[in-house]
Amino acid sequence: MTKQRKKVVLAYSGGLDTSVAIKWIPERYDMDVITVTIDLGAVKDLESIRQKALKIGAKKAIVVDAKDTFVKYFVMPALQAGALYEGVYPLATALGRPLIAKLLADAAEDEKADAVAHGCTGKGNDQVRLDVSLQVLNPRLQIIAPLREWKMSRDEEIQYAEEHGIHVEAKVSSPYSTDENLWGRSVECGVLEDPWMEPPADVYKWTRNVKDVPDEPAYIEIDFEKGIPIALNGKKTEGVALINTLNALGGEHGVGRIDHIENRLVGIKSREIYEAPAAVILHAAHKALEGMNMTKDALRFKEIVSSHYADLIYNGLWFSAFHQDLVAYVLSSQRIVNGTIRVKLSKGSCAVVGRKSPHALYSEELATYQKTDVFDHAASLGFIKIYGLPVKTQSQKQMSVLSGREALNLGSIMPPKVLP
């Protein structure tokens, strides 16, 4: 009786690395390859990629349109959390990796595969995100990462592809390494590795140069329900369509460019260029609405949660109990994040210029200096006395009474006299 060969599920993009892997894995591991191609908003022709995988030698080629799942279960929760890594990066690539891991694990279960494989290098963050997620989702699966193992240069890869009849679209490597999905596009390598160099024009694909944008600004209104955008300019719009619309409009006005020196999980600093028009617009609008509806203490604590939330996404810990704990707080905080934000897009900038909400804590009657003012000015005197009591007491007890080295000295924060 012939022994059945083991099977491996490979995350397949259609590019050089994973195309070579379709041939290399059977040679190295004696396994049949099943490919899974996942569309998160960047794959243009799923069927042609599927056919290419089969032509190279895959025993089965699966394609998945996961855009709606990506937006509903990954992008929108991250937006509600206000997750921006190091305050700027909307985590487009990082958010896609746990979904890819989930789909690989699902396919491995359906196909009764023994292993999964991906095209990550041994230097980046993505290998960690995928490997850690897969270890949680199905620890029995062997994880194969050919680019960490085969030690081939790009030229050697191209030669290998030609020798094995694998069609190679580009003979010369791109000067940049890129990744994209509908939430954003990332670019690195090449001249970008010199942080003193301004990014060349050809780095950007989604956003126009400020000198080429329209002179007239664009105004948009975004409706939120529980922290999730649900409408543009008063028209109900589903997540994928809403993000695509904002990407196009924001890019037209040069909005969404990010140039960042980033602290990678693997311990190095990396210069990253991002294009994320929709993410930049939505994060700005969402934060402005929170500012209208959440208390001061809630906003301060939300900043801490947002930072931890962004870190766990970036560090590949989406499938963790800590994430589940943070989600509980985020969902609770978003119950009152309902309303409309008006945004102005102009010359590369995104500015919030209007806010309204049925749950706003902002009160014009309290804030105004006009005759309609209802603030109790007389109450301020007593408030100031109580508020200032601790520092007044400290001054009397520790600055005036004590002497020498024991006395508190404010010299380091006290400016000199400047009066003539």
Catalytic residues: 17, 97, 126, 177
DSSP 59-82: SEEEEEE-HHHHIIIIIHHHHHHT
DSSP state of 413: T
Element (H or E) spanning 15, and its range? Answer: none
- Cβ atoms of 283 and 222 within 8 Å: the answer is no
- Cβ atoms of 327 and 77 within 8 Å: the answer is yes
- Cβ atoms of 144 and 115 within 8 Å: the answer is yes
216, β-bridge pairs: none
Distance CA 131, CA 40 (A): 19
Residue with tokens 């855009």: 67
CA distance readout (Å), 278 to 210, 317, 345, 376: 17, 24, 11, 43
Q: Supply the angle between the helices 296-314 and 92-110 in degrees, to the nearest 10.
A: 50
Strand order of the β-sheet with 177-181 is 177-181, 184-188, 269-275, 257-263
- Cβ atoms of 261 and 197 within 8 Å: the answer is no
* Residues found in the chain: 420
Strand order of the β-sheet with 218-225 is 235-236, 228-232, 218-225, 339-346, 349-356
- Burial, 407: exposed, middle or buried (Cβ in 10 Å; 0-12, 13-18, 19+)? exposed
The β-bridge relationship of strands 142-144 and 235-236 is unpaired
Distance CA 419, CA 413 (A): 18
